[in-house]
Amino acid sequence: MTGCIKVLFIGDIVGRPGRNAVKHYLNALQSSEENKYDFVIANVENASHGFGLTEKNHNELASYGIDCFTSGNHIWDKRDIYSYINNSDRLVRPWNYPKGTYGTGCRIFDVKNTKIAVLNFLGRTFMNPVDSPWEIVKNEIEKIKQEAPIVIIDFHAEATAEKICFAKFCSEHKVSAVLGTHTHVQTADEKIINDYTAYITDAGFCGAYDSVIGMAYESSVKRLITSIPERFDIEESALTEFDAIEMSFDAVSGQAQSIKRIQVIKDISEVN
């Protein structure tokens, strides 16, 4: 168990344009001998028409080579999630839902003779009430680190200050990475905190580039102008945005060695 582990974390996938953008990017990687990743994670809570994840789309995304799926507050929006979440070998839901909630908040994967733990948490500022992620980290990370040196957290939260504080707190507990999701706008503050923890406030999203965080402008603006609830529709443009974070970690200690933003804007109208 030597060397480094290279990980790709893909920002919130939004609808079919997002799935197509991910498919295009990962297919291009597979056809190239460069920029190979040892492990691929993606946030999928908006992958099925912008809200939730169907079993069909779960299996579709798995076929692209994504090793682990993280999620967030919208993971329950498609009813069939309850029929398959306990059987999925790669889907992680936020850990700080109450005990007894379907699914699991932590999964451990074997990668190149080392182990990677992937955890998912919801923030509590401007979000619906959930249990404290701080207490779970304080009480559980040391035990997880004994089994998996690399610990990666998807922190699905609204407030920037909460994300930064949580990442600093996690760095004190030797978490390898804290990656913000939920706002769908990739931030330019990637860093390594305390010379250990890779961090970014938001990894961004994958979806239609000319959209309102993946949704159609017409339905979004109508809701904002009238304040009347309006169904959001996915923007179906072929011009897509692919946002992700590339990281490397020491395979023995779990310490982050590098973090880099990726953003690709591309017309994928030729992709089926």
CATH number, domain of 43, equals: 3.60.21.10
Structure confidence by residue, pLDDT tens digits, 140-171: 999 999 999 999 999 999 999 999 999 999 99
Active-site residue (options: 74, 156, 182, 184) = 74
Q: How many domains does the chain have?
A: 1
- Identify which has the larger pLDDT, 232 or 211: 211
DSSP 170-183: HHHTT-SEEEEESS
pLDDT at 209 over 50: yes
pLDDT at 265 over 60: yes
- At residue 30 the predicted structure's pLDDT band, cuts being 50, 70 and 90, is confident
The pLDDT value given to residue 128: 93
Rounded Cα distance between 269 and 255, Å, is 40
The pLDDT value given to residue 1: 46
Mean pLDDT score across all residues of the chain: 95
Residue pair 119/152 in contact (Cβ under 8 Å)? The answer is yes
The pLDDT value given to residue 68: 98
- At residue 270 the predicted structure's pLDDT band, cuts being 50, 70 and 90, is low
Q: Which two tokens stand for residue 225?
A: 């102008």
- At residue 35 the predicted structure's pLDDT band, cuts being 50, 70 and 90, is low
Q: What is the mean pLDDT of residues 220-238?
A: 88
Q: What is the mean pLDDT of residues 9-27?
A: 97
State the sign of the Cα–Cα–Cα–Cα dihedral 62, 64, 69, 70.
negative
In a domain, 153, yes or no: yes
Work out the angle at residue 26's Cα, subtended by the Cα atoms of residues 25 and 27, and round it to the nearest 5 degrees: 95
Known catalytic residue at 74: yes
pTM of structure: 0.95
Q: What is the mean pLDDT of residues 13-35?
A: 89
Q: What is the mean pLDDT of residues 61-81?
A: 97
Q: What is the mean pLDDT of residues 235-249?
A: 95
Strands 239-250 and 205-208: antiparallel
- At residue 36 the predicted structure's pLDDT band, cuts being 50, 70 and 90, is confident
Domain range for 34 is 4-267
In a domain, 272, yes or no: no
Query: How far apart, in Å, are the Cα atoms of 127 and each of 33, 73, 139, 158?
Result: 42, 9, 23, 7
Rounded Cα distance between 85 and 125, Å, is 26
pLDDT at 236 over 50: yes
The pLDDT value given to residue 271: 53
Phi and psi dihedrals of 221, rounded to 5? -70, -35
Burial class (CB in 10 A: 0-12, 13-18, 19+), 140: middle
Residue pair 197/258 in contact (Cβ under 8 Å)? The answer is no
In a domain, 42, yes or no: yes
Query: How far apart, in Å, are the Cα atoms of 113 and each of 5, 58, 180, 229?
Result: 10, 26, 27, 50
